[in-house]
Amino acid sequence: MNALAAHPSASAAAEIRSLDPLIPNVARMANYLLGGRDNFAADRDACEDLLKAAPWMRQVACDSRAFQVRAVSHIVAELGISQFIDFGCGLPAQDNVHQIAQRGNPTARVVYVDNDAVVGVHGRALLARTATTEMVVHDVRDVDVLLNDEKLRGLISWDRPIAVVMTWVMDYIREPGPIIDALWRGLPPDSVVAFSHLAIDGLETAEAEGVVQVYDEADAKMQARSASEILALFGGTWEWQEPGFGPVQDWKPIPGAPPREETRASCVGGVAIPLGRQRQGTE
Ligand SMILES: C[S@@+](CC[C@H](N)C(=O)[O-])C[C@H]1O[C@@H](n2cnc3c(N)ncnc32)[C@H](O)[C@@H]1O
């Protein structure tokens, strides 16, 4: 039984909470941190509390987003993958996965997935206008059902490798392990995952608690994890592509990019392939 099936009303409850403007919402909070305007007073107030507790959080959010751009560009250009599923895509931002991917391959296809009804409305309006993008409102904890979703399967072919983008989303999931295992089993050969997650290494306990407490009031709780706990979610069955798993700002940085602000914590992640699931592998 998957994590969602154990809580059948989780999806409906998340949808209702996401529509309440008085409850800080993680998608709208991310939008505010990244400089967007699709947020309410409750989201902005929560972010200001967050920035008091962790002034470096905005830089970390930008680091994760910039990693997403470099990882997707790399996956298209160097791995030749042209199908993406963006788990927990969030509200449309400046550079969305289909825009990044289609710069490298204009035929690239992207399915955006989020369990937030409001993200779904924005996504359908802004992202899903073309024949090469789709928006699916679904809880990623229900991953086996998601991978068989009719709309998703209408755009994404299991005859070719798929890249799953999981940036800054497993942070809000209590048990990401089963989702990652399901991707290992369920994706076609030669598929990859682009992954990022805030690591609390380097923070005093009170500082980490301050971050978590802000999200305790939001529609999705943040899970505080160290880099080694995050790496362990991949259980040794995934291989991290060069330059490996680590702070995302160090993942193939663009030479000559402006210097970033120093931060007390980082998002960690990278691009991983499921071991033993390559076409030339041991299947
Ligand atoms: C912090 S935002 C990150 C957005 C985007 N991935 C990025 O990198 O900027 C987290 C997103 O994950 C979504 N999310 C959280 N839990 C989810 C779940 N169980 N299923 C689907 N989406 C989820 C939230 O609604 C939100 O839009």
Residue 16: pLDDT band (50, 70, 90) is low
Ligand 1 centre distance from Cα of residue 167 (Å): 8
pLDDT at 103 over 60: yes
HSE-CB at 19 with a 13 A cutoff on CA atoms is 8
Q: Span 182-186, mean pLDDT?
A: 97
Residue 14: pLDDT band (50, 70, 90) is low
Question: What residues are paired with 273 via a beta bridge?
Answer: 239
pLDDT at 1 over 50: no
Q: What 8-state DSSP symbol labels residue 189? A: T
Residue 3: pLDDT band (50, 70, 90) is very low
Residue 282: pLDDT band (50, 70, 90) is very low
Residue 283: pLDDT band (50, 70, 90) is very low
Secondary structure element (H or E) that encloses residue 114, with its range: strand 109-114
- Residue to mutate (ligand 1; options 111, 172, 211, 222; most atoms within 8 A of CB): 172
pLDDT at 184 over 60: yes
CB distance 190 to 196 below 8 Å: no
Atom 20, ligand 1: residue with shortest CA distance = 139
Radius of gyration for the chain, computed over Cα atoms and rounded to the nearest angstrom: 18
pLDDT number for residue 17: 64
pLDDT at 11 over 90: no
Ligand 1 centre distance from Cα of residue 88 (Å): 3
210-255 pLDDT tens trace: 999 999 999 999 999 999 999 999 998 999 999 999 999 999 999 9
Ligand 1 centre distance from Cα of residue 279 (Å): 31
pLDDT at 260 over 60: yes
pTM, two decimal places? 0.93
| Residue 45 phi, psi (nearest 5) | -60, -45
Residue 147 structure tokens: 């991978």
Of the chain, the percentage scoring pLDDT greater than 70 comes to 91
Question: What residues are paired with 136 via a beta bridge?
Answer: 113
What is the DSSP track for 11-45? Answer: HHHHHHHHT-TTS--HHHHHHHHTT-S---HHHHH
b/e 258-275 (16+ beta carbons within 10 angstroms → b): eeeeebbbbbbbbbbbbe
**Per-residue CA distances from 216 to 224, 264, 280 (Å):** 12, 21, 45
Residue 195 structure tokens: 């992954």
Q: Span 83-92, mean pLDDT?
A: 97
CA-86 nearest atom, ligand 1: 6
Mean pLDDT of the chain: 92
- Residue to mutate (ligand 1; options 33, 98, 144, 169; most atoms within 8 A of CB): 169
CB distance 36 to 50 below 8 Å: no
CA-4 nearest atom, ligand 1: 19
Q: Span 255-268, mean pLDDT?
A: 94
Ligand 1 centre distance from Cα of residue 90 (Å): 5
- In 3-state terms the chain splits into helix, strand, coil percentages (rounded to 5) of 40, 15, 45
Ligand 1 centre distance from Cα of residue 91 (Å): 9
CA-10 nearest atom, ligand 1: 19
Euclidean distance between CA atoms 30 and 24, whole angstroms: 11
Looking at per-residue pLDDT, the higher value among 9 and 140 belongs to: 140
Length in residues, the chain? 283
Q: Span 259-275, mean pLDDT?
A: 96
Looking at per-residue pLDDT, the higher value among 16 and 186 belongs to: 186
| Residue 256 phi, psi (nearest 5) | 80, 5
Q: What 8-state DSSP symbol labels residue 193? A: E
Ligand 1 centre distance from Cα of residue 186 (Å): 21
Ligand 1 centre distance from Cα of residue 16 (Å): 16
Comparing 10-24, 109-123, 170-184, which segment has the lowest mean pLDDT?
A: 10-24
- CATH class of the domain whose range is 10-250+261-274: alpha beta
Residue ranges lining ligand 1, Cβ < 6 Å: 26-27, 30, 64-65, 68, 88-90, 114-116, 119, 139-141, 167-169, 172-173, 220
CA-30 nearest atom, ligand 1: 1
Where do the domains of the chain lie? 10-250+261-274
pLDDT at 2 over 60: no
pLDDT at 202 over 60: yes
- Residue to mutate (ligand 1; options 99, 114, 170; most atoms within 8 A of CB): 114
Ligand 1 centre distance from Cα of residue 113 (Å): 9
Of the chain, the percentage scoring pLDDT greater than 90 comes to 84
pLDDT at 206 over 50: yes
* Angle between the N-to-C axes of helices 117-126 and 26-33, in degrees from 0 to 180, rounded to the nearest 10: 50
